[in-house]
Amino acid sequence: MTLNRRQFIGTSAAMAAALSAPMVKAQGKPRVVVVGGGAGGATAARYLAKDSKGGIDVTLIEPTRKYYTCFFSNLYLGGFKEIEDIGHSYGGLAAGGVNVVHDWAIGVDRDAKTVTLAGGGSVPYDKLILSPGIDFVEGAVEGWGLSAQNAMPHAYKAGSQSELLKAQLMAMPEGGTFAMIAPPNPYRCPPGPYERVSMVAHFLKQNNPTAKIIVADPKPKFSKMALFQEGWANHYDGMVDWIGEDFGGGNVSVDPNAMTVTIDGEETKVDVCNVIPAMKAGRIADLAGVTDGNWAPVNATDMSTKADADIYVLGDASSQGDMPKSGYSANSQAKVCANAVRGALTGSKVFPAKFANTCWSLIAPNDGVKVGATYEATPEKIAKVDGFISQTGESADLRKATYEESEGWYTGITSDMLG
């Protein structure tokens, strides 16, 4: 829908009367700013540019020039992928008409409707989509802070942290100890810590078979627990010691200088310590004032925030209901959001929201498992409709097919996100 200035003035009274009337700018195209180029933000930017066919001015603000997927970064630790296999450029998005700005978004002025950049200047928006992923809750693990992330990496944002953890894993002395401090709910990628345990165990079984893995976990149970525990018993018998909440797994402190971990009063000297602290929405969501506690509550129909109808939050940073925090979920939410935002700005047809998620995990070579569900928008939240999970005792052929399927999904979702 395009109107020249005179038509616009002539029809503006009628437009104002129609509640569902799209926003029509007297001058220039409607502007969408997306902050964060991961599974949520990149997908939203790409779909908005693609589906509006140039009718919306889409700017993506993302500080890094190369995006390393958090999904499959455990496979890098296990030696199944090279780091470059999980690294992607933003060239495809730029070619698809997205204005990619490599900078940090450090503030949002909701009255002026602008995003402030660390490099100076600001970017105006009609609709703002925040997809900043996660940050860590300060003081969540006693003795650990971001200043200790080199001694005890989190490796829960992929890239240099993944490489650091891999280097430390490779440098472990024979028979050494790898410790993981697992996070409390809710957190990014529910099966992620346990897939990581599996991949570390696989690496150690090949290279350092007398080494041990200790997991201190504040939770009594975790995603795909039966499948992982079956897999650890089958492939890595006796190597993994999982200490859950019942055994004091939540009562943990670390000393990054001494490289010790104290679990329920018992101090252990370790060689590598992977601390995955409690999480919260990426900082820009807080700065925009759309969070309530650690996360940003959103409306299920379009991912708009409860705090501001022109600001949307996707993926890990959002508090939406039943969907797990995963790359697949963020990608799914981004498409619903992009459809709704395009409708609001250009009057295009808005279709009902449908969401889905599947998480594949690799336990050992050719031993893949998955869990998934579909979701719908209700007035209260994104609500689960239907789901499935891999079963214990499945055939080796089925597990291999599941792993191969995850490889296919990786190719699919990365091209769906980044073009």
User: What residues line the site for another protein (CB under 8 A)?
Assistant: 47, 51, 328, 331-332, 335, 339, 349, 351, 354, 356, 358, 370, 372-374, 385-388, 395, 397-398, 401, 404-409, 411-413, 415-416
Min dist CB 314 to another protein, Å, is 14
CB contact set of 6 (below 8 Å; sequence gap of 6+):
none
Q: Which is nearer to another protein, 112 or 388 (CB)?
A: 388
Q: Which is nearer to another protein, 168 or 406 (CB)?
A: 406
Min dist CB 37 to another protein, Å, is 17
Q: Which is nearer to another protein, 66 or 354 (CB)?
A: 354
Rounded Cα gap, residues 49 and 60, in angstroms:
11
Min dist CB 355 to another protein, Å, is 9
Q: Which is nearer to another protein, 34 or 413 (CB)?
A: 413
Q: Which is nearer to another protein, 112 or 398 (CB)?
A: 398
Strands 122-124 and 114-117: what pairing? antiparallel
Min dist CB 405 to another protein, Å, is 5
Min dist CB 41 to another protein, Å, is 16
Q: Respond yes or no on whether the N-terminal peptide bond of residue 193 is cis (omega within 30° of 0).
A: no
Q: Which is nearer to another protein, 274 or 318 (CB)?
A: 318
Q: Counting runs of H as helices and runs of E as strands, what totals does the chain give?
A: 10, 24
**CB-count burial class (<10 Å; 0-12, 13-18, 19+) for 135:** buried
H-helix or E-strand spanning residue 341: helix 327-346
Nearest to 73 by CA among 136, 165, 186, 135: 165
Min dist CB 403 to another protein, Å, is 8
Angle 329-334-336 (CA atoms, 0-180°, nearest 5)?
100
DSSP string over 284-299: HHHHTT--BTTBEEB-
Q: And the tokens for 115?
A: 């995003």
DSSP state of 273: E
Rounded Cα gap, residues 23 and 12, in angstroms:
11
What is the residue type of 12?
Answer: S
Min dist CB 374 to another protein, Å, is 6
Q: Which is nearer to another protein, 347 or 372 (CB)?
A: 372
